[in-house]
């Protein structure tokens, strides 16, 4: 005669018991507010990441931008096309490499990046400014440790 199993399965843990739930909860709100702030300036989060990446260098290759954005060549090209249409970036052939493109910010793009960075700073202050500096630093270090431990390398753009 088969043995009957009468134990009931354990109750699943509540969502709120999971650190991932809280990370996602906060992240969604931080991201949604920042996205709204950027949209008021006519820029998407992905475009902001591309603009900030281009800001860091006088010129960037298409391949470098693709790597920074963690996107396919086609998707990154669409982002660059939108930035060009908005007059924020320019594409030209790279010096000495006839098949490679060089990307740069236009003067308008260069002027916009610090304004958008100030919005990012204000968004951080809105969500994290009430925490003591030591807690903000500990939170940042914990997130960086997770990134390093799991070898996470693509920049979130969505």
- At 71-113, the pLDDT tens digits run 888 999 999 999 999 999 998 876 666 677 789 999 999 999 9
pLDDT of res. 84: 96
Listed by start position, the domains of the chain span: 42-149
Name the nearest CA neighbour of 108 among 42, 45, 155. 42
Q: Are 48 and 116 in contact (CB under 8 A)?
A: yes
pLDDT of res. 48: 95
Q: Are 41 and 116 in contact (CB under 8 A)?
A: yes
Other Cβ atoms closer than 10 A to 74: 8
Could you give the 3-state DSSP secondary structure of residue 99?
strand
Q: Report DSSP letters for 26-58, one per residue.
A: HHHHHHHHHHHHHHTTT--HHHHHHHHHHHTSS
pLDDT of res. 1: 56
pTM of structure: 0.83
Q: Where are the strands (E) in the chain, listed by range?
A: 60-61, 89-94, 97-105
**The CATH number of 42-149 is which of 1.10.760.10, 1.10.10.10, 3.30.230.10, 3.30.70.1290?**
1.10.10.10
Name the nearest CA neighbour of 65 among 55, 97, 137, 135. 55
CA atoms within 13 A on the CB side of 25: 8
What pLDDT digit, counting tens, does each position of 1-12 carry? 566 666 888 999
What pLDDT digit, counting tens, does each position of 26-68 carry? 999 999 999 999 999 999 999 999 999 999 888 888 888 888 8
């Amino acid at each position: 005669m088969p043995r009957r199993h009468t134990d009931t399965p354990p109750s699943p843990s509540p969502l709120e018991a999971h650190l991932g739930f809280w990370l996602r909860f906060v992240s969604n709100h931080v991201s949604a507010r920042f996205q709204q702030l950027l949209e008021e300036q006519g820029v998407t989060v992905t475009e902001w990441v591309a603009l900030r990446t281009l800001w860091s260098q006088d010129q960037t290759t298409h391949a470098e931008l693709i790597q920074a954005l963690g996107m396919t060549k086609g998707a990154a090209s669409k982002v660059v096309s939108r930035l060009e249409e908005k007059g924020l970036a320019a594409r030209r052939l790279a010096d000495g490499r006839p098949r490679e493109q060089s990307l740069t910010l236009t003067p308008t793009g260069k002027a916009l990046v610090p304004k958008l960075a100030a919005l990012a700073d204000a968004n951080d202050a809105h969500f994290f400014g009430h925490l003591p500096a030591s807690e903000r630093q500990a939170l940042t270090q914990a997130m960086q440790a997770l990134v390093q431990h799991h070898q996470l390398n693509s920049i979130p753009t969505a």
